[in-house]
Amino acid sequence: MARVLINLPARAKRGEIIEIKTLIAHPMETGYRVGPTGAAIPRDIINRFLCTYNGEEVFRAELFPAIAANPFIAFFTVATESGEIAFSWTDDHKETQTEVRQITVE
């Protein structure tokens, strides 16, 4: 499981626009680097990021090798209701890591 840092408020007012910052540890190997033997190091990146709010998709990103290592993605969403905001990152091996945070909306 890669290390993850997520910044999102634990509480918000209904209708408030909140900022979410996410950071995940990953080398984002581009596939363009050459190793010590001269052979290319194969590409290995996180290529998809998804945010759902109580199960509904609110934000999605498709990432390419041009995204720097330890991908940082910050975006906004409207605090509509209390519940779970889930974040998932999928890599080139089709493996997904999901993190869930709770939010209380008054």
Partner 1 sequence: MDERSPDPPTRRLVLLAAAGIGVSRLVRPAAATPAAMEEAIRALVGEATVEHGKVKLELPPIVENGNTVPLTVTVDSPMNEADHVSGIHIFNEKNPQPYIASFDLGPRAGKAVVSTRVRLADSQQVVAIARLSDGSFWSDSADIVVTLAACAEG
Partner 2 sequence: MKALLLAVIAAVAVAAAAAEIAPRDRRSGYDFAGPESRAMQDDDTANPGMLGVLQGETLWAAKAGAADRSCADCHGDARTSMRGVAARYPVFEPALSRPLDLEGRINRCRTEHQGAAPFAGESEDLLAVTALVARQSRGLPIAVDGSGELRPFFDLGSELFHRRQGQLNLSCSQCHDDNWGKRLAGAVIPQGHPTGYPVYRLEWQSLGSLQRRLRNCMIGVRAEPYDYGAPEAVALELYLMARARGMPLETPAVRP
Residues interacting with partner 1, by CB under 8 A? 17-18, 21, 30, 32, 53, 56-69, 71-78, 80
CA dist 72 and 21 (Å) reads 7
Minimum CB separation of residue 61 from partner 1 in Å reads 5
Which range in 1-9, 42-50, 82-90, 94-102 contacts partner 2 by CB under 8 A? 1-9
**Residue 18 or 86 having the CB closest to partner 1:** 18
- For residue 5, CA distances in Å to 13, 37, 88 come to 23, 35, 13
Q: Is 90 in the site for partner 2 (CB under 8 A)?
A: no
> Would you say 32 or 94 has its CB closer to partner 1?
32
What amino acid is encoded at 72 in this protein? Answer: F
Among left, alpha and beta (phi > 0; psi -120 to 50; other), residue 70 is left
Q: How many residues make contact with partner 2 (CB under 8 A)?
A: 16
Beta bridge partners of 21: 7, 74
> From the list 11, 14, 69, 96, which residue makes contact with partner 2 (rule: CB under 8 A)?
69
